[in-house]
Structure 1
Amino acid sequence: MYISEWLMWFGDSVSAPIRRKWQMPKLAKHLRPSDFRRNYTKIKVSDNPRPIGPYYAYNDSYLEIRGGRGEHFRGIITLLGLVLFLIPCSYAYLAIKMIARIVTNQESDLAPAILFVSFYSLLFIIFGYFFIYYCRHICRFELFTLRHIRVRFNRVTQQVFIQRPKHCGGTVVFRWKDIMPINTDSHHSNQEQSQFVNIFYFPSYKTGLPFSDGFSIGKNTNRPQDNRDEWEFIRRYMETGLAGLPKPRLTTTLPLPFRGWQEQIKPIFDVFNQTPKLVSYLILIPSLIFILPLLSFGYFLSECLCWQFKWPEAIQEAGKIGRLKPKETQLLDYPITIWKNQVDDNS
């Protein structure tokens, strides 16, 4: 779920060499110089604004939508992470079990028992070390972290709030007028299939930060028009309010067993529709019988092993009478290591 967000954060703001090599080609690949001077919040892109979601909140003050790309891969990483986590745990269990047998005098030959305890303990230390220092970086993409990225568009303060884990950039605040949609531009109008969520950037020349930041929202779409329709829904909400807009269906941030099934089934059928019928049938049967339930279980398990933080008080109260407007994110709000990378990049 957080792999793409982490890669974007690492490339754009952490590693200066990677940022110099990749940032502008990625952002400007389909954009002309004039595109960077546009105020995208004033440009109409669709006559059919509609919410695709999933949405968590929708009222006169703000709307909130789930962010993040690659939700349908969540079950894979979850199961892989749990297997890696259970390897050192299994050796710890065997060592403790053998110690219990020694203490209760169930082992007649003490020397081999102590040897087995030492061996299992050594394996636990070795595999535990590799998990803590290496594998945890994989597991934290889906396990023991924030359940979902959330993006809140506050029309009262005209700001966008993004809630992410710290290793993906943390919670940030940007001005609404600085937003730049990527998948809603006319440059994508000739594509027949999109298979991308809506992606947005806050370019550095607008935010004043020495690096660009960005996020994605909602579900994978089949057509570029889907992206434009949802962006138009958000744009009109922020510019004119709720009048004339369809009310989105709201969902919960709590774990739901059927959510994993929904996230997995759609990408599978999208692949089938683009492959020959014979190949589709050969893949469909094992996918529905084994792979799909397994991945859906991994998705639900990931949600159960994660948590959802509340927004900071300043963001929760944003837009209410008598409350101060949250300040936009600045470079000083980031850790000292980020500052150092920017200094090294400019030197």
Structure 2
Amino acid sequence: MFLIEWGFWQMARESEKARKAYEAEMTPAERRSTQDYYEGDLEEEIHFQQVSENPHTRGPVFSFNETFLEMRCGGSEEKRGLITLITLGVFPGIIFGIVIAVGSIWLDITKPGPISFLGVTLTIVLGLVSGAALYFYSKYGIKISRFEMLTSRHLLIRFNRLTQQVHLHRPKYCGGIVTFPWKTTGSTVLYPEDDSLSVGMRLGLIWHPSRTGLPHMEMALLGKQGQGGSELRDEWEFIRRYMEEGPHAVPRPRLSTQLPSPIQAFSAQFEGLGRFFRKSSWLFKLAMLMVWPAFVIIGTAHWVSLLLCWRPRWPKVIREAGLPGKPVPSPTTLSDYPPEIQERLLANADRWQLKPGKRPEKKPRKPRTPRAPKSST
């Protein structure tokens, strides 16, 4: 399910009208927070020092060798199947309504007989409603359905150790395939004090415009949901050591298949819940057992969505990157996008501007002096 990546890409190429409408709804505090990012903050987030003594990845990992490490991306994999479930319920209903309306009209033409006013009215209403539903679905709904149907089966990220590059594989409506130098990669899970904010989150990687030369921010959410910041730091350390030192510096991960596996479909619903489930009360565990049919239905829809998608394929230059005599892929630049997309990206470039220097330290608040009690007269 690529909804988060699509939304982030839409924000990066937002029209002037949509942006003004969005900013008009922001509070003054929200406006200040969007512009409160310093160069020093970015320097702290982009470093390649050791952050964990236990490099480990929870996957899914699709490839691991001397040349590259390939993993799954995607910000809401555990919710995949909901859109498929709705689509498989709505679209057949629309088609059924159109078939019934057209069939009734055809029978009235080919086999004339007594005409019922009620029958004609119902046929017209059914045809109009089904036709309108088909129109709106073809114009708006099919875009939503393609977040998890008739598209790439997964978002992928490939770390090429020999070329020292990172490649993202996404559909065009989520930003397309891009290439960045490894040393421009920032991580969101470097510090233990952020652990409380990382429960249920994925490892996030960022590429800031000040490092890539692009006018917009790029982001990737890797692997499974974490049950704490330490898990995510272990995963980042696994990637860092692989890229900095090589595959011998990390434990060999268990490889997953890119085929539409039902195990992946059903297990995705329980990502990040293991520790929480073990520590939860018996009442919560009983409630989870009572709603197991919902997990079965969503898991089945998740699997169907995987079956209705195709395995993503890298361009030839990326597949051959690192092989002897083969060219090194060029990092993504603004000129790689169509002219109309370039214009939109440049129009929103100010979103990512940094304030110079380091963030000023907050001044400690002065303790309030207690008020004198009012004298009663």
TM class by smaller structure: 0.7 to 0.9
The question of 1:286 aligning with 2:271 is answered no
Structure-2 change in CA distance of 1:27 and 1:70 (3 Å): farther
CA distance in 2, matches of 1:328, 1:167: 20
Indicate conservation of the 8 Å contact 1:265/1:292, yes or no: no
CA distance in 2, matches of 1:131, 1:223: 40
The question of 1:133 aligning with 2:139 is answered yes
2:48 equivalent among 42, 45, 59: 42
SS at match of 1:310: coil
CA distance in 1, matches of 2:34, 2:255: 33
Larger Rg: 2
TM-score with structure 1 setting the length? 0.87
Structure-2 change in CA distance of 1:2 and 1:192 (3 Å): closer
Q: Which residue of 2 aligns with 1:10?
A: 10
User: CA-to-partner distance for each residue in 1:122-158, whole Å, 9 max, x for gaps?
Assistant: 3332111110112223212212211110100001111
Mark the runs of 5 or more structure 2 residues left unpaired by the alignment: 351-377
More helix by share: 1
Q: Which residue of 1 aligns with 2:371?
A: none
Indicate conservation of the 8 Å contact 1:158/1:175, yes or no: yes
Mark the runs of 5 or more structure 1 residues left unpaired by the alignment: none
CA distance in 1, matches of 2:211, 2:260: 37
Moved more, 77-86 or 91-100: 91-100
The question of 1:85 aligning with 2:91 is answered yes
Shift of 1:119: 4.5
CA distance in 2, matches of 1:272, 1:211: 39
Shift of 1:263: 0.9
User: CA-to-partner distance for each residue in 1:15-72, whole Å, 9 max, x for gaps?
Assistant: 563898889947977xx74342258452111111112110110111001000001111
CA distance in 2, matches of 1:258, 1:57: 19
TM-score with structure 2 setting the length? 0.80
SS at match of 1:42: coil
SS at match of 2:148: coil
Shift of 1:102: 6.0
CA distance in 2, matches of 1:219, 1:159: 22
Tell me the percent identity: 31
Indicate conservation of the 8 Å contact 2:242/2:249, yes or no: no
Shift of 1:278: 2.5
Structure-2 change in CA distance of 1:345 and 1:243 (3 Å): closer
Indicate conservation of the 8 Å contact 2:216/2:349, yes or no: no
For residues 1-347 of structure 1, what are the structure 2 equivalents within 5 Å?
1-15=1-15, 17=19, 25=33, 33-38=39-44, 40=46, 42-98=48-104, 108-109=113-114, 118-189=124-195, 191=196, 194-266=199-271, 272=277, 276-281=281-286, 283-288=287-292, 290-345=293-348
Indicate conservation of the 8 Å contact 1:81/1:138, yes or no: no
Structure-2 change in CA distance of 1:141 and 1:346 (3 Å): closer
